[in-house]
Amino acid sequence: MDWGMKSRMARIINPDTGKAVMLAFDHGYFLRPTHRLEEPRKTIEPLLPYADTIMLTRGVLRSSVDPESRANVVLRVSGGTSIVGADLSNEGLTTSFKDAIRLNVAGVGISVFVGSEYERQTLLNLAELVNQGEEYGIPVLGITAVGKELEKRDARYLSLCCRICAELGTHIVKTYFCEDFEKVTTSCPVPIVIAGGPKLETEMDVFEMTHSAIEQGAIGVDMGRNIWQNDHPVAMLRAIRSIVHENNSPKQAHDFFLTVREEESRKVASA
């Protein structure tokens, strides 16, 4: 691995812990102006100090993130479909590698839809992105998307998806947590981060999922709604970070969440 590739990987995966806290803000590229992401800048700014990396599109990066923030960015470079269209899996590449380089990204991310009508198309898109990533020293995050078919999220299917991404040369894989998740991580020879998926019912649900994923071989998270749709997103992100980087238990993380939430409430009251 060349120096540039290693340097960018170190911007995504913390070299001191070997773990990663990624924060996803790319939902609007296909979903809608998601609740509490209607004004991206207002959502993103308070969270930047506590995320190792943020994932978003070039449009939101340029419009809503200050260059002076020194944010590490994994740039979403696939798209072309929407939630109201016929098939979410019919994605193509939306951003040139030249533009990704111009934006000084730490990495680029692309979805693949294994088992869909457009499986071959999305996998070849990934392979081409890896070719360019190797040429320019930029890591590629392969994202195992399921479109509207959330029932596909089982260990057998996700193991297949993650292994294909690794075989095609992706440097990191983003996938869903599932029962028997260790089968997914042990059969994938590159690092895995977990998606948060739709917002869970309680904070403890998120902490337990994160902790279980790390215990079963994930190197971190790439979460969105379960953090910034919370009423206390900074406290939520800092608690997730304590699990990933400090090996806190779900209970320790929840106690820390409550402490930070109380500190925030006192600051608001005093202001």
Is 42 noted as a catalytic residue in this protein? Answer: no
- φ and ψ at residue 112, rounded to 5 degrees: -125, 145
Query: Are 45 and 105 a contacting pair, CB within 8 Å?
Result: no
**What is the largest distance, in Å, between two alpha-carbon atoms of the chain?**
57
Q: From residue 144, how far is each of 48, 90, 130, 181, 254 by CA, in Å?
A: 25, 14, 15, 14, 29
Which of 42, 174, 251, 267 is flagged as catalytic?
A: 174
Cα atoms in the 13 Å half-sphere on the side-chain side of 2: 9
Cα angle value 44/194/255 (rounded, 5°): 70
Q: From residue 127, how far is each of 109, 120, 121, 138, 257 by CA, in Å?
A: 12, 10, 10, 14, 40
Residues carrying an active site annotation: 174
